[in-house]
Amino acid sequence: SQTITEFDTIAAISTPPGEGAISIVRLSGEAALSTAQRVFKGRDLAQVASHTINYGHIIDPDTDEEVDEVMVSVMRAPKTFTREDVIEINCHGGIVATNRILQLLLSHGARLAEPGEFTKRAFLNGRIDLSQAEAVMDLIRAKTDRSMKVALNQLDGNLSTLIRQLRQDILDVLAQVEVNIDYPEYDDVETMTTKLLLEKAQDVKVRIGELLETAQQGKVLREGLATAIVGRPNVGKSSLLNHLLHEDKAIVTDVAGTTRDVIEEYVNVKGVPLKLVDTAGIHETDDKVEKIGVERSKQALATADLTLLVINGSESLTSEDRELIEETTGQKRIVILNKTDLPQQVDLANLQMLVGDDSVIGTSVLTNDGLSQLEDQIATLFFGGIENSQTTVMVTNARHIGLLKQASAALDDVMSGIAAGMPVDLVQIDMTRAWDLLGEITGDSVQDELLTQLFSQFCLGK
Ligand code: GDP
Ligand code: ZN
């Protein structure tokens, strides 16, 4: 129901930085078509039908020099991502040509887009709500198919639908309270009203709680599960790491925001994005006398969500092994009894007693024995409850989690207020606060400053 706001025309390279087969330069705004036309030799873009792709060349109008051979998509408002006129130039001349095209557009009527500005316009023009805008950001960063699905789900507006339902329920009860207050002639109006508020506060709190329960898995999907591979020297850590890195699909090796020498390694294990902790430490020490030892393992443990403790089954347990077993107790842990292809010195049942309820899995990285069982176990550990419920809404966004917690606390205030016999109009204030906080998730009640901060987190060109 928002009106379209008039903005200037913005341009940016929308494909990720780096060398690719094609790159896309995107333009959005009133002058998108005319700006593109100034540097385009081909059909008259003003005359072509909307949502068509047009072959031609980008030329520098000042020198008539040909810059690249391109396909230009013309999408007229309002059926576009931003609800403005949008032009996408598919070029294939590599980074230099792509940058030239952007520069040409910038000197012929467009302004360089700020990070996230395309998505911000989509939001401001009422095309998407705030949680959908954030989903776009998550989608850009999604590290596995599964996190992609969650982001897509959110993009579809499932979270928004749920939140709006909660708000509507709160609004209904607030309206009912107003009506009751208007008819004070009924004797038990105060009691009735209080009961209504209490029941609704409890009900909404339960539903918020269910959403918050999905947040832990949500965080994993979003950020990857920080995983430490620990064990004394020579047990097979690097071999396991290499198996995970090379035999499985490595997802990202170069994460935006990290420098070249601090490369985080992600692997996708049955849909669980593992962010391997301190792999540099493992790599570094490979083929060197000084292998990764207990001290180093302890450091890696401090930041881990999941610990893979590797033990060499072909040698008796050492004090170092026992120390690491002790050290990792209470963490989310899988104990790997490696080198099962060799004569065994460690008794699996004994080891199982030492590690309590945690799984012990026998593996041989040499013969690939038990490795798929290990991967299954990692997936089960994290998707046990939600494996078959991919349509469930999951909260994955830190801002949403924060707001849900605050809303839940406001509902606690409603309940404790009622318990303390506070007047209804004061209780109403807390209820309204919960309604407001939920609204911030979808952007139905949101301040300018927050918007600016949010959209600035986007990549350029999105
Ligand atoms: P790390 O020091 O814990 O990283 O151990 P490495 O992965 O470097 O492995 C030490 C040695 O054990 C290497 O020679 C590996 O080839 C070997 N190794 C690793 N896993 C197995 C296994 O499952 N069976 C056998 N027989 N050897 C293994
Ligand atoms: Zn090694």
What would the pLDDT profile of 340-375 be if each residue is shown by its tens digit?
Answer: 999 999 998 999 999 999 999 999 999 999 999 999
> What confidence score (pLDDT) does residue 4 get?
45
Lowest-pLDDT choice from 57-71, 149-163, 399-413 = 149-163
Terminal-residue alpha carbon distance, the chain:
23
pLDDT in tens, 247-306: 543 333 333 333 223 335 677 787 777 888 755 555 444 444 344 455 666 666 777 888
Q: Does residue 157 or residue 231 have the better pLDDT? A: 231
239 lines ligand 1 (CB under 6 A): yes
In whole angstroms, what separates CA 59 from the centre of its chain?
39
pLDDT at 220 over 60: yes
What separation in angstroms does the CA of 155 have from each of 131, 135, 139, 190?
8, 5, 9, 42
10-128 carries CATH number 3.30.1360.120: yes
Query: Distance from the CA of 381 to the center of ligand 1, in angstroms?
Result: 26
CATH code given to domain 225-383: 3.40.50.300
Query: Where along the chain do the CATH 3.30.1360.120 domains lie?
Result: 10-128
Query: Distance from the CA of 179 to the center of ligand 1, in angstroms?
Result: 74
> What confidence score (pLDDT) does residue 51 get?
92
Residue that the structure tokens 């963490």 belong to: 331
238 lines ligand 1 (CB under 6 A): yes
| H or E element at residue 158 | helix 158-182
234 lines ligand 1 (CB under 6 A): yes
> What confidence score (pLDDT) does residue 455 get?
66
Query: Where along the chain do the CATH 1.20.120.430 domains lie?
Result: 152-214+395-443
Tokens of 146: 């599964």
State how far the Cα of 265 lies from the Cα of 277, in Å rounded to an integer: 8
**Residue 145 pLDDT level (bands cut at 50, 70, 90):** low
Instruction: Report which protein residue has its CA nearest ligand 1's atom 19.
Output: 236
Query: Distance from the CA of 10 to the center of ligand 2, in angstroms?
Result: 51
pLDDT in tens, 321-346: 998 899 889 888 999 999 999 999 99
**Residue 176 pLDDT level (bands cut at 50, 70, 90):** confident
**What CATH superfamily classification does 152-214+395-443 receive?**
tRNA modification GTPase MnmE domain 2 (1.20.120.430)
297 lines ligand 1 (CB under 6 A): no
> What confidence score (pLDDT) does residue 1 get?
34
Query: Where along the chain do the CATH 3.40.50.300 domains lie?
Result: 225-383
237 lines ligand 1 (CB under 6 A): yes
**Residue 21 pLDDT level (bands cut at 50, 70, 90):** low
Instruction: Report which protein residue has its CA nearest ligand 1's atom 18.
Output: 236
What ipTM describes this predicted complex? 0.97
56 lines ligand 1 (CB under 6 A): no
